[in-house]
Chain A
Amino acid sequence: KLRSPRVSIEQIKNLHNRFTYLTQDEDTLRREHLENISNLALNPIRRQIIEAFFDKRNMGEKEKGCLQEIGFEEFVTVLSFFRPPKPRTADEEMKNVKKEKLRFLFNMHDTDKDGIITLDEYRRVVEELLSSYETIGAETAKAISDAAMLEVASVTVGQMGPDEFYEGITFEQFMQILKDVEIETKMNIHFWNLDTRTMQCGK
């Protein structure tokens, strides 16, 4: 299940060291372990990042829900979403890689797991992004998320009568509006490529 052919033994060993460090030698990782990372506390979207590790949808399973604790396998599975594609990847395969990464992002936004990002959920995303700036009121976050939603609806659906209600962003629409962002090249962590000695596992 671990898609190991694309990951080297060296990298797995390093990740395991990190995993053990985080869980303080226990077998499973819980939310508190991740919350203890000091650098992560400064991140405005830490809650969503932590949740992503415990989201069943990211484990390749069809069921929805959250786990309370995860093992090393799940840890690496989530991290593998940030693996850069191999240099000689065919276009078809590249599209799949992009779709996977976008699916990960989508799941992060879709907190109630119904397959649609509603206005409220999107608003919460923008609020979290702006949460590190104390002076910004909720009104501005609302305005931005409204404008963003409007844009998605305009671009993807186009014509809507005044009566119709736009439920929310589906995954296909999500893929459509972010097709220019080049996720497959941006959403990567370099440690998969470089010498794993650069990882400060001791800290």
Chain B
Amino acid sequence: EKEDIYIDYCGMFILVLGLLVGSLMPLGGAASSPDTGTGHGGSHGNKDPGYAKNGNGTTYSKKPFPVLSFDYEHVRLPFEISLWVLLASLMKLGFHLIPRVSSIVPESCLLIVVGLLVGGLIKLVGEDPPVLESKIFFFYLLPPIILDAGYFMPIRQFTENLGTILMFAVVGTLWNSFFVGGLLYGVCQLEGHKLAYVDLLSCLLFGSIISAVDPVAVLAVFEEIHINELLHILVFGESLLNDAVTVVLYHLFEEYSSVGLITVTDVFLGIVCFLVVSLGGIVVGAIYGILAAFTSRFTSHTRVIEPLFVFVYSYMAYLSAEVFHLSGIMALIACGAVMRPYVEANISHKSHTTIKYFLKMWSSVSDTLIFIFLGVSTVAGPHQWNWTFVVATLIFCLVARVLGVVGLTFVINKFRIVKLTSKDQFIIAYGGLRGAIAFSLVYLLNPEHFPMRNMFLTAIITVIFFTVFVQGMTIRPLVDLLAVKKKQETKRSINEEIHTQFLDHLLTGIEDICGHYGHHHWKDKLNRFNKKYVKKCLIAGERSKEPQLIAFYHKMEMKQAIELVESGGGSKLPSALPSTVSMQNIQPKKPSQDRALPQLSKAREEEIRKILRTNLQRTRQRLRSYNRHTLIADPYEDGWNEMLIKRKKMKELEKKMNNYLTVPAPPPDSPTIARARLASDPQAWGLKSVTESIPTIKVDLASPQSPESVNVVDEFSKKGSQPKEEEGGLTMKVPSPAKQRKDKTPDEEPQQRLMRCLSDPGPAAEEEDEDDPFLPQKKSW
């Protein structure tokens, strides 16, 4: 409990710190006014009085060298930007330290409140609070969020629900715009004197701006409630794809509002424009995506700048689309989605992590800044409050949304296999949040053409506040109340993956038998085209021929191996496998084969087997992790083929290891494995104590556990070592020979090695690569 209080105080402290930082803004503004010259005056007054008297004829009086000076103007802009970013991050940090608050109120609300406070502070000081300039918003704050969303978009669910998403995005947004715009015009006309100057086109423009669901707000709220994937992708997909509609409507109405008239031709051109804007945006994005994928094919020697290509190409896609007034958001999404499968096959694991974390970091900072600025702009922005207009807007928006969703779902459900229930519909309607994009679009309006701009601004801010605060805060308890299905956190298992692929092929086959060219048929054709032509161009080396199942399997193994390492070695197995089932249980019993070795008496055999089994149990647990460690040796850095060779060797080795206690010296060309095994598993040393309780194990190598033991006997008889030596050869016992083995030549006798092992004083105290036991020794390969 003391901990909680302590953490609460820390949170408060950080918040206060953040507010202090925020209050530096106005001071920064104020400090820019005094001229920099005054700073020079104080420091050198008494130092050199002689110079000051030198004023007779000379106009120039040499000032002493300024030791310390104050020059704020110099760094003003970057300083203020950094201050804002710092403020945003500190706020975020503070909120998460106070768990009680952050579980009730979504982050976006808290940030807006902070923005309001900071804006208020700035105004108190007498300065003008900065407003969220549209250029900054559209060029710097919005792209990271969209790229993050697009790059990590779950393609499978998106394409499965594409029809539904498009319906909501296109038809839904159109319906909303016209409904809200039209009804508002009616209200304005009815109201009379104050609002009569608002004409139809302006109302329609306002309607189109305000009806678009905002991806930033949706992401901010939906991410915290962990709703099931279907609903998440529906609402989120809609918020992304409605950008094209918004762009077209906005430009259409803005163009012609000065004229005041729209003809049928204009409408027709508008439709054409919509197709051009959306498809054009996608094409531009896809082109840049392919370029990025192609570039990543050649980056194997310059791994460090790989993430840069991803970011820069995507940003260029966005900007290029904006040049032609195409939909930048769709370009960005298309670019991220197209490049991802190919880039991920080409880049190193570290680059992948870098990309992921950079995108998350940038989008998080952007998101925070946007909400804070929204708060500040509310305080700053010129307002014109009109009760009728604002309330009418709010009501119409809500009503339009509900009607739109219900109506569209009715139509859509006729074509869907998984129907949308009324619970789903409610969440979709309720999740239609508005956000900063709408605000920025209104801000862009020219006040001369649109004298009612301030009123629009006020109305939009009210709607945004309402949706973010009221809807954002209540959606979480509502989701719980309605028992909406939440996101399942289960890990993807290999069985599921196998069967997903199996199902794909099965359904394609059935479609072919029925002669029906459906969904699966075309998907299969696309996959085959992808495999045959595209992958060969865009993916480097061997990875281009790798089937998805294998890629998945390797990724899974990597993940498990990393987990194993992080959980401290073989003693603690990852939670996915809390059982004692091992490979031994699965392999079918092999029929006993004829042994080329002298037989032991049955009793003797039994005794040996029993002893070995008791110890093998524990060993097997540790050794089972053996197979996975090898993958940690950064396979994607070293080349695919090498890795395959390594794995083959590993497999052979594991077979031998699984069968007896006295692990023979592994083949000399695998010191990596030994070091990997030993270094990661300090508990392996514990085996020493076990052996003491057991009578000397005179391991007769002729006592076979499985036919494979025959191999080892052969190997050792070739090398001429005596079985007795093996007794000391519990390689688990001493680490140093294993580690030193890396410098030896391959054909060293195991005998000599063991001799050294026995006479060796002990492991060297410092091993230079303890921290990084899994790097392969390049020279040994």
* Interface, chain A (partner B; CB < 8 A): 15, 18, 21-22, 34, 37, 39-40, 42-46, 49, 79, 82, 84, 87, 105, 108, 118-120, 125-126, 129-130, 132-133, 135-136, 139-140, 143-144, 146-155, 157-166, 177-178, 180-181, 183, 185-191, 193, 198-201, 203
Contact = CB atoms under 8 A, between A and B. Distances in A.
B217 to A, nearest CB: 30
B13 to A, nearest CB: 44
Contacts of A147: 494, 553, 557
A183 B506 CA distance: 13
Given A139-B648, A180-B496, A200 B577 contact: no
Nearest to B588: A119
A98 to B, nearest CB: 13
Given A165-B585, A193-B417, A151 B494 contact: yes
30 contacts: A22-B513, A34-B513, A39-B521, A43-B505, A49-B510, A105-B499, A105-B502, A119-B586, A119-B588, A130-B547, A130-B550, A133-B546, A143-B553, A147-B553, A147-B557, A148-B495, A151-B494, A151-B577, A160-B581, A160-B585, A161-B580, A162-B613, A162-B620, A163-B613, A178-B496, A181-B499, A181-B503, A189-B510, A189-B511, A203-B515
B505 A140 contact: no
B514 A177 contact: no
Nearest to B584: A162
B582 A162 contact: yes
B516 A191 contact: yes
Contacts of B553: 143-144, 147
Contact of B581 (A34, A139, A153): A153
Interface string B487-527: 01010011110111111011111111111111111000000
Contacts of A158: 578-579, 581
A42 B488 CA distance: 35
Nearest to B587: A119
Residues of B in contact with A, size category: 35 or more
Given A43-B508, A44-B505, A151-B494, A190 B518 contact: yes
Interface string B563-604: 000000000000011111111111111000000000000000
Contacts of A177: 493, 495-496
Contacts of B588: 118-120, 165
B418 interface: yes
Contacts of B488: 180
Contact of B579 (A46, A49, A160): A160
Contacts of B470: none
3 shortest interchain CB distances as A-B pairs: A39-B512, A49-B509, A154-B579
B508 to A, nearest CB: 6
A132 B519 CA distance: 21
Contact of B550 (A15, A40, A144, A159): A144
Contacts of B616: 162
Given A129-B502, A148-B494, A181-B500, A190 B514 contact: no
A186 B510 CA distance: 13
A58 to B, nearest CB: 13
B513 A126 contact: no
Interface string B24-55: 00000000000000000000000000000000
B356 interface: no
B609 to A, nearest CB: 11
Contacts of B501: 129
A133 B519 contact: no
A201 B515 contact: yes
Interface string B649-684: 001000000000000000000000000000000000
A190 B519 CA distance: 8
Contact of B490 (A105, A129, A132, A180): A180
B505 A154 contact: no
A126 B512 contact: no
Listed residue (A45, A139, A147, A161) with the most chain B CB atoms within 10 angstroms of its CB: A147
A129 B510 contact: no
| Among A133, A162, A186, A193, residue most surrounded by chain B Cβ atoms (within 10 Å) | A162
Nearest to B511: A189
Nearest to B509: A49
B515 A187 contact: no
B579 A129 contact: no
Given A153-B586, A157-B581, 6 more contacts: A40-B509, A126-B549, A144-B494, A162-B616, A181-B503, A187-B506
A81 B76 CA distance: 70
A154 B586 CA distance: 11
A133 B557 CA distance: 21
A188 B417 contact: yes
B617 interface: yes
Contacts of B536: none
A119 B589 CA distance: 12
Given A151-B494, A178-B496, A193-B417, A187 B584 contact: no
A137 B488 CA distance: 35
Nearest to A120: B588
A133 to B, nearest CB: 5
A52 B400 CA distance: 51
Contacts of B620: 162
A178 B499 contact: yes
In this complex, the member of B499, B518, B542, B545 whose beta carbon has the largest number of chain A beta carbons within 10 angstroms is: B499
A120 B588 CA distance: 9
B512 A166 contact: no
Given A139-B648, A146-B586, A160-B585, A126 B580 contact: no
A111 B546 CA distance: 28
A43 B527 CA distance: 12
B449 interface: no
Contacts of A43: 505, 508-509, 512
A18 B513 CA distance: 9
A203 B511 CA distance: 13
A151 B553 CA distance: 12
A18 B505 contact: no
A185 B418 contact: yes
A203 B514 CA distance: 10
B419 interface: yes
Contacts of B589: 165
Contacts of B494: 144, 147-148, 151
B756 interface: no
A82 B581 contact: no
Q: Which of B550, B582, B586 has the most CB of A within 10 A?
A: B586
Most buried by B among A21, A130, A150: A150
Nearest to B621: A162
Given A146-B586, A162-B620, A191-B518, A37 B513 contact: yes
A126 B499 CA distance: 10
A50 B495 CA distance: 23
A185 to B, nearest CB: 5
B499 A189 contact: no
Contact of B417 (A148, A181, A185): A185
A152 B516 CA distance: 35
Among B419, B488, B494, B583, the one with the most A-chain Cβ atoms within 10 Å of its Cβ is: B494
A178 B497 CA distance: 10
A191 B495 contact: no
A130 B549 CA distance: 8
B528 interface: yes
A200 B586 contact: no
A167 to B, nearest CB: 9
Contacts of B514: 15, 18, 79, 189, 191, 199
Interface string B457-498: 000000000000000000000000000000010100111101
B585 A181 contact: no
Contacts of A22: 513
Contacts of A79: 510, 514
A41 to B, nearest CB: 9
B563 to A, nearest CB: 15
B585 A166 contact: yes
Contacts of A34: 513
Contact of B510 (A82, A181, A203): A82
